Homo-oligomer: A and B are copies of this chain.
């Protein structure tokens, strides 16, 4: 089950839950100072520990489009996709597990699950962590915990992130107030795509800022609590926006649906706006799940991204991509 093609818990608001561990291996220098030989040793060790069920993708051999497409699926970071050093992605798509070998740290273990499922993601990530821990010796300090390249990851080395779809809190401009409150509690919320005031697609990521001096369980408990509150805030904001502006909102949503179904060309940015309207429409029951399912919406959100789209459609320039994107949306 590929995470973005599946319908998860609380999927009206929660897109995905992600656990990521930063790990380094004793006896190897940190921070990109590795020779290719040493890098190969680490890749081989981790790949061997994961076994044959996981695919080891030598990232240095990928075309820029392929490299980018894994970032669009959230399997690797944009930095990792764009880097030049010897590195590998170890991917278990069926488990939603991805390991970036030789990103900023020697190893980033990630599990991303559809919907609100931090515990499940945590359990799976821990299993991977344990498996590798048996094969290599992690750099670990009794006081500082897991040693990481960047001090902000010291301690647990864990980042718990939940991707949320918050159109109503975006419309009523409550996001900045919520952001300020979270910040006091060591929690960050930021738009997933696009800089500036409005998050493209109304997608936001909530994650822990602090990794040191707290347990993994405490981090998950705190994020879970905050997400739960945010989900309720979003739902009640949707209800009040909908009851105050039923006709206008219905019209906006159905027009976006109509454009998505019929347009001949759609830019990436416009697509995300249409997608957000349609997703809200499904959540509000204005569009039936038979006409557009959460699975389809999830699949679309990745399929229309530039690199993934260029790979599947062969489109070379922006115009052809806009046409291919509209074709994909129609289908």
Distance in Å: Cβ of A241 to nearest Cβ of chain B: 15
Interface size on A, residues (CB 8 A): 18
Distance in Å: Cβ of A128 to nearest Cβ of chain B: 45
Q: CB distance B247 to A323 under 8 Å?
A: yes
Question: What residues of chain B lie closer than 8 Å to A257, measured between beta carbons?
Answer: 262
What CA separation (Å) do A250 and B248 show in the bound complex? Answer: 27
Quick one: closest B residue to A251, CB to CB? B264
Q: What is the 8 Å Cβ interface bit string for chain A, positions 250-292, against chain B (1 contact, 0 not)?
A: 1100110111111111000000000000000000000000000
Distance in Å: Cβ of A317 to nearest Cβ of chain B: 12
Pick 16 A–B contacts, CB within 8 A, sort by A: A247-B264, A247-B265, A247-B319, A247-B323, A248-B265, A250-B264, A251-B263, A251-B265, A254-B262, A254-B263, A255-B259, A255-B264, A258-B258, A258-B259, A259-B259, A261-B262
Partner of A262, one of B247, B248, B258, B265: B258
- Specify which of A251, A261, A262, A319 lies most central, judged by the most chain B CB atoms within 10 Å of its CB: A262
Question: What residues of chain B lie closer than 8 Å to A319, measured between beta carbons?
Answer: 247
What CA separation (Å) do A263 and B261 show in the bound complex? Answer: 12
Q: Which of A67-122 contact B (CB under 8 A)?
A: none
Quick one: closest B residue to A248, CB to CB? B265
What CA separation (Å) do A323 and B248 show in the bound complex? Answer: 10
Quick one: closest B residue to A323, CB to CB? B247
Question: What residues of chain B lie closer than 8 Å to A248, measured between beta carbons?
Answer: 265
Query: Known: A247-B323, A319-B247. Is A264-B259 also a contact (CB below 8 A)?
Result: no
Question: What residues of chain B lie closer than 8 Å to A258, measured between beta carbons?
Answer: 255, 258-263
Q: Which of A305-331 contact B (CB under 8 A)?
A: 319, 323, 326
Question: What residues of chain B lie closer than 8 Å to A261, measured between beta carbons?
Answer: 258, 262
What CA separation (Å) do A2 and B251 show in the bound complex? Answer: 32
Q: Which of A146-190 contact B (CB under 8 A)?
A: none
Given pairs A255-B262, A259-B259, 10 additional interface contacts (CB within 8 A): A247-B323, A251-B264, A251-B265, A254-B262, A254-B263, A254-B264, A255-B263, A258-B258, A258-B261, A261-B262
Q: What is the 8 Å Cβ interface bit string for chain A, positions 223-248, against chain B (1 contact, 0 not)?
A: 00000000000000000000000011
Quick one: closest B residue to A260, CB to CB? B258
What CA separation (Å) do A250 and B319 show in the bound complex? Answer: 13
Question: What residues of chain B lie closer than 8 Å to A250, measured between beta carbons?
Answer: 264
Distance in Å: Cβ of A319 to nearest Cβ of chain B: 7
What CA separation (Å) do A323 and B319 show in the bound complex? Answer: 35
What CA separation (Å) do A319 and B262 show in the bound complex? Answer: 26
What CA separation (Å) do A222 and B263 show in the bound complex? Answer: 42
Quick one: closest B residue to A326, CB to CB? B251
Quick one: closest B residue to A320, CB to CB? B247
Question: What residues of chain B lie closer than 8 Å to A263, measured between beta carbons?
Answer: 251, 254-255, 258
